[in-house]
Structure 1
Amino acid sequence: MRIAFMGTPPFAVPTLAALHAAGHDVAAVYTQPPRPAQRGKKLQKSPVQAWAEEHGLPVRTPRSLKGEEAQAAFAALDLDVAVVAAYGLILPQAILDSPREGCLNVHGSVLPRWRGAAPVQRAILAGDTETGVTIMQMDAGLDTGAMRLVETTPTGRKSAGVLTDELAEMGALMMRRVLSDLHAFPPMPQPDEGATYATKIDKSEARLDFLTSAVQVERQVRAFNPAPGAFFELEGERYKILAAEIVHPSEAVAGAAPGVTLDDALVIACNPGAIRATRIQRQGKPAMDAAELLRGRAIAAGTRLA
């Protein structure tokens, strides 16, 4: 099929790679323009742009698709279908209508649950036992289009990073199957019941809230790993907890003040329960096991973390 691919972050790369390997005619790859990155603020290409250029695919980086010129350039591609995976731009109706088979999206949830920008993180924070991928026929709504294929996977104790990578590989295989025979995967309307919205993650949400239960704090740790990183502050310095485990009730101290360390091994009281930080990153330092950090920076029992 003659396709345009539209995506930006690492999540999108496996789908582009799968469609290229399947022999589809990738007429153009659309991705977000290079952005300033890291301390030097040097412009950095998106992962999708880097992969596409490495494999000789034509790349377009418009800042918007709302203008007539951008829409005419898209229409001129004469596409069978457009494949979208975490592109980051809203597609106007003229873009949605241009390909003969419309636009198909790889969405990282089991729709209609977790429509929106951050489905993986919201699923973890909500304690969902499973999530998955939906291949969706796009319409003008926010992830409201008809579904062509849905598959699920357990969330387990996976971090957002691990789960996102898993869903990216799932989505790539699913999209490849759908495009191999579109008529075998007819669009099915989404049910209205059970729809929720995965609002974009605000950095303020990553501050660990020890006034909540140990279960919820541990979910925060997984949901915000690798970014933005669940953190506490101590003496004006930020520490990101990258992995943690819930402490057995018999190991927690009943009535301990939330946010106070219960021993010198970074067991922290919650409300109720406690967590033990197992991997941590001190501000400006590399990530390491908590035991390694504590050998160089002791945090005694009774220390209050903010």
Structure 2
Amino acid sequence: MPLRLIFMGTPDFAVPTLIELAARGHEIAAVYTRAPKPAGRGMDMQVTPVEREARRLGLPVFTPKTLRIEEAQEAFRAHDADAAVVVAYGLILPKAVLDAPKLGCFNVHASLLPRWRGAAPINRAVMAGDAESGVTIMRMDEGLDTGAMAMIDRLPIGADMTAGELHDALAPLGADLMTRALGALERGTLTLTPQPEAGVTYAEKIRKDETRIDWTRPWAEVHNHIRGLSPFPGAWFEFNGVRVKVLRSTRGEGTGAPGTALDDRLAIACGDGAVRLVQVQRAGKQPMSADDFLRGTKVERGTALS
């Protein structure tokens, strides 16, 4: 028998799960997402990707600013849900909300818990040079991603894979895994396993002050930094007073003073080894290949980037 669900999510990453739950015939009593925010040059109010999809599906949408007040909690309980599905919602769920659905609140988390609990698991996994990532379905508790695990699926991280590419691979994986978990929940066969105490790491939110490229680091760390911040917020350097984001890189050849061009094709020396810049983006411009960038900007051998 299909479940009566509350769906809670905000960004693009959550949309495949919402679509899959609707396609599987679950009754989605309510969709909770963040309130619209002004964006763009005109600062027009922009709804979230989840709200846009929910409206397309004809589902009721709720955008409370907080769930900590009694009025919001009573409204949540009134949906009389069997379970809540949470995917990158963005608001803290207090105990009264966690306890409201009959079978609990279940979260799609984009890491192999307990590694990378927290806000930016995809970015941090790539920045750390992890060989694999994945999705964990957990039953939520009051801790920060500390709930008991229901299912895990793994995905290798390629040597040049960016955070954006990993994001796009994990989103449908999470949707599929959640539908499988809910199927087991319907049948009464879902098994929950406490997270191990060993191997806990935290994926802190990306700070602006860590986005600038530090060429003195070893090439592998520079490369992981670049791909872990691509496409957003983007790792960057300055050249001739202009900020340039690097969206894609790979291992380069040669050695030299950190930040120095080793050829005329954007091989840049690091503290150990070199990276080759493959795709870049000038401030205010569209992303472009290194070849296209070099057609308009001369970066000769020996040029120093800052």
1:150-202 CA deviation, whole Å, 9 max, x = no partner?
11110113111110111110010011011112122211111101111110011
Give the aligned partner of residue 166 of structure 1. Answer: 169
Give the aligned partner of residue 243 of structure 1. Answer: 248
**How far apart in 1 are the matches of 2:19 and 2:132?**
26
| Residue of structure 2 aligned with 1:32, choices 27, 30, 34 | 34
**How far apart in 2 are the matches of 1:305 and 1:298?**
12
Q: Report if the CA contact (8 A) 1:178-1:184 is conserved.
A: no
Shift >4 Å, 4+ stretches = none
* CA drift at 1:234: 1.1
What's the secondary structure of 2:199's corresponding residue? Answer: coil
Give the aligned partner of residue 91 of structure 1. Answer: 93
TM-score between the two structures when normalised by the length of structure 1: 0.97
Pairs within 5 Å for 1:272-287: 272-287=272-287
Give the aligned partner of residue 207 of structure 2. Answer: 202
| Residue of structure 2 aligned with 1:219, choices 217, 221, 224 | 224
User: Over the residues paired in the alignment, what is the CA RMSD in angstroms?
Assistant: 0.9
**How far apart in 2 are the matches of 1:59 and 1:259?**
50
Give the aligned partner of residue 23 of structure 1. Answer: 25
| Residue of structure 2 aligned with 1:107, choices 100, 106, 109 | 109
- Structure 1: tracts of 5 or more residues without a match: none
**How far apart in 2 are the matches of 1:48 and 1:186?**
29
* CA drift at 1:264: 1.6
Give the aligned partner of residue 259 of structure 1. Answer: 259
| Residue of structure 1 aligned with 2:140, choices 127, 138, 149 | 138
Q: Is 1:268 aligned with 2:268?
A: yes
* CA drift at 1:39: 2.2
- Code of the residue aligned with 1:181 in structure 2: it is A
**How far apart in 2 are the matches of 1:238 and 1:42?**
27
**How far apart in 2 are the matches of 1:161 and 1:198?**
16
Q: Report if the CA contact (8 A) 1:7-1:86 is conserved.
A: yes
**How far apart in 2 are the matches of 1:75 and 1:158?**
42
What's the secondary structure of 2:275's corresponding residue? Answer: strand
How many pairs were matched up? 301
Give the aligned partner of residue 297 of structure 2. Answer: 297
- Code of the residue aligned with 2:228 in structure 1: it is A
Q: Percent identity?
A: 53
- Code of the residue aligned with 2:200 in structure 1: it is A
What's the secondary structure of 2:181's corresponding residue? Answer: helix
- Structure 2: tracts of 5 or more residues without a match: none
Bigger mean CA offset, 137-146 vs 153-162: 153-162
TM-score between the two structures when normalised by the length of structure 2: 0.97
Give the aligned partner of residue 189 of structure 1. Answer: 194
